[in-house]
Amino acid sequence: MNVGFIGLGIMGRPMAGHLQKGGHTLFLYDIGKLPDDLLSAGATGCASGKEVASKAEIIITMVPDTPHVQSALFGKEGVAEGLSPGKIVVDMSSISPIATKDFARRIKERGCEYLDAPVSGGDVGAKAASLTIMVGGSQQAFDKVRPLLELMGKNITLVGDNGDGQTTKVANQIIVALTIEAVGEALLFAAKAGADPAKVRAALMGGFASSRILEVHGERMIKRNFDPGFRIELHQKDLNLALQSARQLQVSLPNTANCQELFNACAANGGAAWDHSGMLRALELLAHFEIGQTTG
Ligand code: NAD
Protein backbone atom coordinates (compact mmCIF):
# COMPACT_ATOMS: atom_id res chain seq x y z
CA MET A 1 0.00 0.00 0.00
CA ASN A 2 1.05 3.62 -0.43
CA VAL A 3 1.11 4.95 3.14
CA GLY A 4 1.68 8.55 4.25
CA PHE A 5 3.33 9.18 7.63
CA ILE A 6 3.37 12.66 9.16
CA GLY A 7 5.34 13.25 12.40
CA LEU A 8 8.49 11.14 12.65
CA GLY A 9 9.56 11.76 16.25
CA ILE A 10 10.23 9.38 19.14
CA MET A 11 7.13 7.30 18.31
CA GLY A 12 6.51 7.93 14.59
CA ARG A 13 9.96 6.98 13.36
CA PRO A 14 10.01 3.36 14.64
CA MET A 15 6.30 2.92 13.78
CA ALA A 16 6.90 4.02 10.17
CA GLY A 17 9.94 1.72 10.08
CA HIS A 18 7.72 -1.30 10.82
CA LEU A 19 5.39 -0.36 7.95
CA GLN A 20 8.34 -0.09 5.61
CA LYS A 21 9.72 -3.48 6.70
CA GLY A 22 6.21 -4.87 6.15
CA GLY A 23 6.55 -4.01 2.45
CA HIS A 24 4.58 -0.75 2.26
CA THR A 25 5.69 2.30 0.28
CA LEU A 26 6.10 5.35 2.52
CA PHE A 27 5.53 9.06 1.82
CA LEU A 28 6.87 11.14 4.72
CA TYR A 29 6.47 14.67 6.04
CA ASP A 30 7.69 16.37 9.22
CA ILE A 31 8.24 20.05 10.02
CA GLY A 32 11.67 18.87 11.24
CA LYS A 33 14.26 16.66 9.58
CA LEU A 34 13.16 13.33 8.08
CA PRO A 35 14.95 10.18 9.32
CA ASP A 36 17.80 9.19 6.97
CA ASP A 37 17.33 5.46 7.60
CA LEU A 38 13.76 5.53 6.24
CA LEU A 39 14.73 7.65 3.22
CA SER A 40 17.70 5.47 2.30
CA ALA A 41 15.45 2.39 2.57
CA GLY A 42 13.22 3.85 -0.17
CA ALA A 43 10.74 6.21 1.52
CA THR A 44 9.83 9.39 -0.37
CA GLY A 45 10.23 12.70 1.45
CA CYS A 46 7.41 15.16 0.71
CA ALA A 47 7.34 18.96 0.95
CA SER A 48 3.91 19.13 2.68
CA GLY A 49 1.03 17.17 4.13
CA LYS A 50 -0.88 18.03 0.93
CA GLU A 51 1.74 16.19 -1.16
CA VAL A 52 1.61 13.18 1.21
CA ALA A 53 -2.19 13.03 0.93
CA SER A 54 -2.14 13.26 -2.86
CA LYS A 55 0.30 10.31 -3.13
CA ALA A 56 -0.89 7.95 -0.36
CA GLU A 57 -4.13 5.98 0.15
CA ILE A 58 -3.84 5.95 3.95
CA ILE A 59 -2.35 8.95 5.78
CA ILE A 60 -1.13 8.51 9.37
CA THR A 61 -0.38 11.43 11.72
CA MET A 62 1.77 11.07 14.89
CA VAL A 63 2.37 14.60 16.19
CA PRO A 64 2.41 15.98 19.77
CA ASP A 65 -0.96 17.62 20.52
CA THR A 66 -4.37 18.81 19.23
CA PRO A 67 -3.10 22.06 17.61
CA HIS A 68 -0.40 20.10 15.75
CA VAL A 69 -2.98 17.67 14.32
CA GLN A 70 -5.21 20.61 13.37
CA SER A 71 -2.33 22.29 11.56
CA ALA A 72 -1.14 19.05 9.87
CA LEU A 73 -4.65 18.31 8.59
CA PHE A 74 -6.25 21.69 7.95
CA GLY A 75 -3.37 24.20 7.85
CA LYS A 76 -1.95 25.72 4.67
CA GLU A 77 -0.66 22.94 2.36
CA GLY A 78 -2.13 20.47 4.87
CA VAL A 79 -3.48 16.95 4.34
CA ALA A 80 -7.06 18.09 3.60
CA GLU A 81 -5.90 19.99 0.49
CA GLY A 82 -4.43 16.81 -1.04
CA LEU A 83 -7.25 14.36 -0.24
CA SER A 84 -9.54 12.74 -2.80
CA PRO A 85 -12.58 10.54 -2.01
CA GLY A 86 -11.91 7.06 -0.62
CA LYS A 87 -8.71 7.90 1.27
CA ILE A 88 -8.36 7.25 5.02
CA VAL A 89 -6.79 9.58 7.60
CA VAL A 90 -5.54 7.81 10.76
CA ASP A 91 -4.52 10.04 13.67
CA MET A 92 -2.37 8.07 16.12
CA SER A 93 -1.40 11.10 18.28
CA SER A 94 -2.95 11.46 21.76
CA ILE A 95 -5.27 14.46 21.47
CA SER A 96 -8.66 15.89 22.49
CA PRO A 97 -11.61 13.50 21.94
CA ILE A 98 -13.89 16.49 21.34
CA ALA A 99 -11.66 18.09 18.68
CA THR A 100 -11.27 14.62 17.13
CA LYS A 101 -15.00 14.42 16.40
CA ASP A 102 -14.80 17.74 14.59
CA PHE A 103 -11.68 16.72 12.61
CA ALA A 104 -13.42 13.46 11.62
CA ARG A 105 -16.51 15.33 10.42
CA ARG A 106 -14.43 17.69 8.29
CA ILE A 107 -12.42 14.84 6.72
CA LYS A 108 -15.59 12.82 6.02
CA GLU A 109 -17.12 15.85 4.22
CA ARG A 110 -14.43 15.24 1.60
CA GLY A 111 -15.67 11.68 0.96
CA CYS A 112 -12.85 10.20 3.05
CA GLU A 113 -12.73 8.12 6.24
CA TYR A 114 -11.17 9.08 9.60
CA LEU A 115 -9.89 6.87 12.41
CA ASP A 116 -8.54 8.05 15.77
CA ALA A 117 -6.03 5.41 16.84
CA PRO A 118 -3.89 6.58 19.78
CA VAL A 119 -1.42 4.18 21.34
CA SER A 120 -0.07 3.06 24.69
CA GLY A 121 3.25 1.31 25.31
CA GLY A 122 5.76 4.12 24.94
CA ASP A 123 8.91 4.26 22.84
CA VAL A 124 9.73 0.69 23.95
CA GLY A 125 6.41 -0.56 22.54
CA ALA A 126 6.87 1.51 19.35
CA LYS A 127 10.30 -0.07 18.73
CA ALA A 128 9.08 -3.59 19.59
CA ALA A 129 5.86 -3.23 17.51
CA SER A 130 3.92 -4.19 20.63
CA LEU A 131 1.78 -1.05 21.07
CA THR A 132 -1.76 -1.18 22.42
CA ILE A 133 -3.93 0.67 19.86
CA MET A 134 -7.38 2.09 20.75
CA VAL A 135 -9.46 2.91 17.70
CA GLY A 136 -12.52 5.05 17.01
CA GLY A 137 -14.26 5.03 13.62
CA SER A 138 -16.21 2.83 11.22
CA GLN A 139 -15.78 -0.95 11.03
CA GLN A 140 -15.18 -0.62 7.28
CA ALA A 141 -12.26 1.80 7.67
CA PHE A 142 -10.89 -0.22 10.60
CA ASP A 143 -10.86 -3.40 8.51
CA LYS A 144 -8.91 -1.65 5.72
CA VAL A 145 -6.31 -0.16 8.10
CA ARG A 146 -6.00 -3.14 10.46
CA PRO A 147 -3.12 -4.84 8.53
CA LEU A 148 -1.04 -1.68 9.02
CA LEU A 149 -1.94 -1.43 12.73
CA GLU A 150 -0.93 -5.08 13.17
CA LEU A 151 2.58 -4.22 11.98
CA MET A 152 2.89 -1.62 14.78
CA GLY A 153 0.95 -3.11 17.69
CA LYS A 154 -0.48 -6.19 19.40
CA ASN A 155 -3.63 -5.39 21.37
CA ILE A 156 -5.77 -3.57 18.77
CA THR A 157 -9.40 -2.74 19.63
CA LEU A 158 -12.10 -0.90 17.70
CA VAL A 159 -13.76 0.73 20.73
CA GLY A 160 -16.53 2.61 18.93
CA ASP A 161 -17.13 5.68 16.78
CA ASN A 162 -14.81 8.64 16.15
CA GLY A 163 -13.51 10.11 19.42
CA ASP A 164 -13.89 6.85 21.35
CA GLY A 165 -10.27 5.86 20.65
CA GLN A 166 -9.05 9.16 22.13
CA THR A 167 -11.48 8.84 25.05
CA THR A 168 -10.00 5.41 25.79
CA LYS A 169 -6.49 6.86 25.71
CA VAL A 170 -7.50 9.59 28.19
CA ALA A 171 -8.97 6.86 30.44
CA ASN A 172 -5.66 5.00 30.15
CA GLN A 173 -3.74 8.10 31.20
CA ILE A 174 -6.03 8.64 34.22
CA ILE A 175 -5.37 5.08 35.42
CA VAL A 176 -1.62 5.38 34.82
CA ALA A 177 -1.33 8.72 36.69
CA LEU A 178 -3.40 7.59 39.67
CA THR A 179 -1.49 4.32 39.90
CA ILE A 180 1.86 6.13 39.82
CA GLU A 181 0.54 8.31 42.66
CA ALA A 182 -0.59 5.27 44.66
CA VAL A 183 2.71 3.44 44.18
CA GLY A 184 4.63 6.61 45.10
CA GLU A 185 2.61 7.14 48.30
CA ALA A 186 2.97 3.49 49.31
CA LEU A 187 6.73 3.26 48.78
CA LEU A 188 7.32 6.63 50.47
CA PHE A 189 5.18 5.57 53.43
CA ALA A 190 7.06 2.26 53.73
CA ALA A 191 10.47 3.93 53.51
CA LYS A 192 9.58 6.57 56.14
CA ALA A 193 8.31 3.76 58.41
CA GLY A 194 11.79 2.24 58.21
CA ALA A 195 11.12 -0.70 55.84
CA ASP A 196 13.30 -1.35 52.78
CA PRO A 197 11.17 -0.08 49.82
CA ALA A 198 12.83 -2.56 47.44
CA LYS A 199 11.74 -5.47 49.64
CA VAL A 200 8.26 -3.96 50.10
CA ARG A 201 7.89 -3.72 46.31
CA ALA A 202 9.07 -7.32 45.84
CA ALA A 203 6.69 -8.55 48.56
CA LEU A 204 3.71 -6.77 46.97
CA MET A 205 4.41 -7.90 43.39
CA GLY A 206 2.59 -11.23 43.81
CA GLY A 207 -0.50 -9.84 45.56
CA PHE A 208 -3.63 -7.82 44.83
CA ALA A 209 -1.66 -4.53 44.72
CA SER A 210 0.55 -5.86 41.93
CA SER A 211 0.61 -3.88 38.69
CA ARG A 212 2.87 -3.11 35.74
CA ILE A 213 3.37 0.34 37.30
CA LEU A 214 4.48 -1.11 40.65
CA GLU A 215 6.85 -3.31 38.66
CA VAL A 216 8.37 -0.78 36.24
CA HIS A 217 7.85 2.61 37.87
CA GLY A 218 8.23 1.22 41.41
CA GLU A 219 11.69 0.09 40.39
CA ARG A 220 12.44 3.50 38.82
CA MET A 221 11.39 5.21 42.09
CA ILE A 222 13.63 2.96 44.20
CA LYS A 223 16.59 3.39 41.82
CA ARG A 224 15.76 7.12 41.48
CA ASN A 225 15.95 6.88 37.70
CA PHE A 226 13.73 9.66 36.34
CA ASP A 227 15.21 9.88 32.83
CA PRO A 228 12.30 9.71 30.31
CA GLY A 229 10.55 7.44 29.12
CA PHE A 230 7.33 9.38 29.07
CA ARG A 231 7.84 13.03 29.99
CA ILE A 232 5.79 14.70 32.75
CA GLU A 233 4.87 17.53 30.32
CA LEU A 234 3.20 15.01 27.96
CA HIS A 235 1.26 13.47 30.85
CA GLN A 236 0.20 16.99 31.95
CA LYS A 237 -1.19 17.45 28.42
CA ASP A 238 -3.18 14.20 28.73
CA LEU A 239 -4.57 15.02 32.21
CA ASN A 240 -5.47 18.45 30.91
CA LEU A 241 -7.58 16.72 28.22
CA ALA A 242 -9.21 14.64 30.97
CA LEU A 243 -9.99 17.63 33.19
CA GLN A 244 -11.22 19.86 30.34
CA SER A 245 -13.51 17.10 29.03
CA ALA A 246 -14.70 16.37 32.59
CA ARG A 247 -15.79 19.98 32.93
CA GLN A 248 -17.71 19.83 29.65
CA LEU A 249 -19.25 16.49 30.59
CA GLN A 250 -20.02 17.67 34.15
CA VAL A 251 -18.19 14.80 35.84
CA SER A 252 -15.84 15.21 38.77
CA LEU A 253 -12.36 13.64 38.61
CA PRO A 254 -10.93 14.64 42.02
CA ASN A 255 -7.88 12.39 42.03
CA THR A 256 -6.97 13.18 38.43
CA ALA A 257 -6.90 16.83 39.52
CA ASN A 258 -4.61 15.93 42.45
CA CYS A 259 -2.23 14.09 40.14
CA GLN A 260 -2.12 17.10 37.81
CA GLU A 261 -1.22 19.33 40.79
CA LEU A 262 1.59 16.94 41.74
CA PHE A 263 2.89 17.03 38.13
CA ASN A 264 2.65 20.86 38.31
CA ALA A 265 4.78 20.77 41.47
CA CYS A 266 7.37 18.64 39.64
CA ALA A 267 7.42 21.10 36.73
CA ALA A 268 7.83 24.00 39.18
CA ASN A 269 10.90 22.21 40.53
CA GLY A 270 12.52 21.77 37.11
CA GLY A 271 10.92 18.41 36.32
CA ALA A 272 8.78 18.96 33.19
CA ALA A 273 11.07 16.60 31.28
CA TRP A 274 11.45 13.98 34.04
CA ASP A 275 9.86 10.59 33.47
CA HIS A 276 6.28 10.58 34.85
CA SER A 277 7.36 8.21 37.66
CA GLY A 278 9.09 11.37 38.98
CA MET A 279 5.69 12.34 40.44
CA LEU A 280 7.19 10.66 43.53
CA ARG A 281 9.43 13.68 43.98
CA ALA A 282 6.45 15.97 44.58
CA LEU A 283 5.26 13.58 47.32
CA GLU A 284 8.78 13.55 48.76
CA LEU A 285 8.79 17.34 48.91
CA LEU A 286 5.52 17.27 50.88
CA ALA A 287 6.93 14.64 53.26
CA HIS A 288 10.34 16.32 53.50
CA PHE A 289 11.75 12.81 53.09
CA GLU A 290 13.28 10.90 50.17
CA ILE A 291 13.06 7.17 49.49
CA GLY A 292 16.59 5.96 50.17
CA GLN A 293 17.07 8.30 53.14
CA THR A 294 17.28 6.54 56.52
CA THR A 295 14.74 7.42 59.21
CA GLY A 296 17.08 6.91 62.14
P1 NAD B 1 7.82 13.86 19.37
O2 NAD B 1 7.81 15.27 19.81
O3 NAD B 1 9.05 13.04 19.58
O4 NAD B 1 7.46 13.76 17.79
C5 NAD B 1 6.47 14.53 17.15
C6 NAD B 1 6.93 14.85 15.72
O7 NAD B 1 5.89 15.58 15.07
C8 NAD B 1 8.19 15.72 15.65
O9 NAD B 1 9.13 15.12 14.78
C10 NAD B 1 7.68 17.07 15.12
O11 NAD B 1 8.64 17.75 14.32
C12 NAD B 1 6.48 16.62 14.28
N13 NAD B 1 5.47 17.66 14.06
C14 NAD B 1 4.92 18.52 14.95
N15 NAD B 1 3.98 19.29 14.36
C16 NAD B 1 3.92 18.89 13.06
C17 NAD B 1 3.15 19.31 11.95
N18 NAD B 1 2.21 20.26 12.05
N19 NAD B 1 3.35 18.70 10.76
C20 NAD B 1 4.29 17.73 10.64
N21 NAD B 1 5.06 17.30 11.66
C22 NAD B 1 4.87 17.87 12.85
O23 NAD B 1 6.56 13.19 20.11
P24 NAD B 1 6.29 11.62 20.39
O25 NAD B 1 6.87 11.23 21.72
O26 NAD B 1 6.63 10.85 19.15
O27 NAD B 1 4.70 11.66 20.62
C28 NAD B 1 3.78 11.75 19.55
C29 NAD B 1 2.38 11.49 20.12
O30 NAD B 1 2.33 10.16 20.67
C31 NAD B 1 1.95 12.44 21.26
O32 NAD B 1 0.60 12.75 21.11
C33 NAD B 1 2.21 11.62 22.52
O34 NAD B 1 1.39 12.00 23.62
C35 NAD B 1 1.88 10.21 22.03
N36 NAD B 1 2.51 9.14 22.78
C37 NAD B 1 3.83 9.22 23.13
C38 NAD B 1 4.41 8.20 23.87
C39 NAD B 1 5.86 8.27 24.29
O40 NAD B 1 6.28 7.46 25.15
N41 NAD B 1 6.67 9.16 23.75
C42 NAD B 1 3.63 7.09 24.24
C43 NAD B 1 2.30 7.00 23.83
C44 NAD B 1 1.74 8.05 23.10
Span from the CA of 150 to the centroid of ligand 1 (angstroms): 20
List, for residues 106-116, the tens digit of each pLDDT value. 999 999 999 99
Does residue 96 contact residue 166 with C-beta atoms inside 8 Å? yes
Span from the CA of 94 to the centroid of ligand 1 (angstroms): 9
pLDDT at 220 exceeding the cut of 80: yes
pLDDT band at residue 89, thresholds of 50, 70 and 90?
Answer: very high
Does residue 165 contact residue 172 with C-beta atoms inside 8 Å? no
- Cα separation, 120 vs 267, in Å, equals 23
Residues 121-138, mean pLDDT to the nearest whole number: 94
Percent of the chain with pLDDT over 70: 100
Residues 119-124, mean pLDDT to the nearest whole number: 89
Span from the CA of 8 to the centroid of ligand 1 (angstroms): 7
Q: Which atom of ligand 1 is nearest to the CA of 8?
A: 9
| pTM: predicted TM-score of the whole model, two decimal places | 0.93
169 is catalytic: yes
DSSP string, 70-100: HHHHHSTT-HHHH--TT-EEEE-S---HHHH
Tell me if 30 CB under 6 Å of ligand 1. yes
What is the overall mean pLDDT for the chain? 97
- Cα separation, 117 vs 92, in Å, equals 5
- Cα separation, 281 vs 287, in Å, equals 10
What's the pLDDT at 295? Answer: 74
Percent of the chain with pLDDT over 90: 95
What's the pLDDT at 35? Answer: 98
What's the pLDDT at 293? Answer: 85
